[in-house]
Amino acid sequence: MNHKENLVNIACIQMEPVFGDIPGNTRKSIELINQASNKGANIIVLPELCNSGYVFNSRIEALSLAEEIPSGPTVQSWIRVAKENDVYIVAGINEKEGDKLYNSAVLIGPEGYIGTYRKNHLWNEEKYYFEEGNLGFPVFETKYGKLGILVCYDIWFPEAFRVYAKHGVDLVCVATNWVPMAYQPKEEKRMAVHIAQANAHMNSVFVACADRVGVERGQPFIGSSVIVDSDGWCVTGPASYDEEELLLATCDLSKARRGKQKTKLNSIMDDRREEIYQVEQKIH
């Protein structure tokens, strides 16, 4: 098909943060951002809570490893490296606002800090430490198109992708710390990858997931970072379960917009029937 392209190089950095070592994790993230940028990346996604680590033992500990956005040292470092490299960065960060904690991800662009997403669906013991996100699903304009952000368990909620798709998001960046399921068939990809693929396809959005690896305080993480196109196919990845890796893919984000029209008669957003999704059902 003859069409205008909207090419962008998307990178997902699969890394292993060291619990509690904010300066070390920030240095490492900057090294990896520089590497990705040297390979041509325009938008670079990093894992959930990649500056602090994930497994907190107490609220006080979590708070001691949090920073304010955008004044905190990690964000300030990312602002510098984004400017130097002329890239966008989406990165998970332990955010404090006064004494409140949020499991957040920041978007930083070549011109500086753009905005924050706060995880809307908290997983397990995160509920002991963090507040639920209170910023909804913000849609961020960038020079490459419209970005949405989700964090980890958020992708289990197809409603989140629908909200973004309704508002024309081209790329959903997912900062994540996926943990293993009780049962994993050997021949299957991780369920998180199926979920990313299905939601990408059902909404015609690109989905770029950056996961961490390693075992922290007994909690293993599963890697499998992946960049999925708006048809739902893996462009690159899933990455390994346990190695630090850089995923990089050239994506034509214009596909996300064209793909919403599935046939002459089918637009996936127009085919939705809001009026029948809300009604209370009778049991027959």
Give the nearer residue to a second copy in terms of CB position, either 38 or 187. Answer: 187
Closest distance to a second copy from the beta carbon of 59 (Å): 15
Q: Which of 16, 92, 11 is nearest to 44 (CA)?
A: 11
Active site residue 96: no
Distance CA 35, CA 28 (A): 11
Q: Which of 233, 220, 212, 213 is nearest to 184 (CA)?
A: 220
The two structure tokens encoding residue 69: 């956005």
From the CB of residue 146, how many other CB atoms can be counted at a distance below 10 Å? 19
One-letter amino acid identity for 214? G
Give the nearer residue to a second copy in terms of CB position, either 72 or 238. Answer: 238
CB 164 within 8 A of CB 203: yes
Which residue of the set 16, 50, 96, 152 is catalytic? 152
By CB under 8 A, residue 139 contacts a second copy: yes
One-letter amino acid identity for 89? I
Q: Considering only 84-92, 194-202, 217-225, 240-248, which stretch makes contact with a second copy by CB under 8 A?
A: 194-202
In Å, the largest CA–CA distance within the chain is 63
Give the nearer residue to a second copy in terms of CB position, either 55 or 191. Answer: 191
Q: Which of 155, 234, 154, 152 is nearest to 189 (CA)?
A: 234
Q: Considering only 6-14, 40-48, 180-188, 214-222, which stretch makes contact with a second copy by CB under 8 A?
A: 180-188
Q: Considering only 26-34, 70-78, 209-217, 230-238, which stretch makes contact with a second copy by CB under 8 A?
A: 230-238
The two structure tokens encoding residue 30: 């900057």
Angle, CA of 66, 51 and 155, to the nearest 5°: 95
**Which SS3 state, helix, strand or coil, does residue 57 take?**
coil
Closest distance to a second copy from the beta carbon of 4 (Å): 19
Active site residue 48: yes
Binders of a second copy in range 79-138 (CB under 8 A): 114-115, 120-125, 127, 132, 136-138
By CB under 8 A, residue 146 contacts a second copy: yes
Q: Considering only 26-34, 90-98, 242-250, 260-268, which stretch makes contact with a second copy by CB under 8 A?
A: 260-268
Which residue of the set 28, 96, 119, 146 is catalytic? 119
CB 64 within 8 A of CB 106: no
Q: Which of 241, 177, 179, 232 is nearest to 207 (CA)?
A: 232
Give the nearer residue to a second copy in terms of CB position, either 38 or 124. Answer: 124
Closest distance to a second copy from the beta carbon of 190 (Å): 11
Give the single-character DSSP code of 189. P
**Catalytic (active-site) positions:** 48, 119, 152
Binding site for a second copy (CB under 8 A): 114-115, 120-125, 127, 132, 136-141, 146, 153, 156-160, 162-163, 166-167, 181, 183, 185, 188, 191, 194-195, 197-199, 201-202, 231-234, 263-266, 268, 271-273, 276-277, 279, 281-284
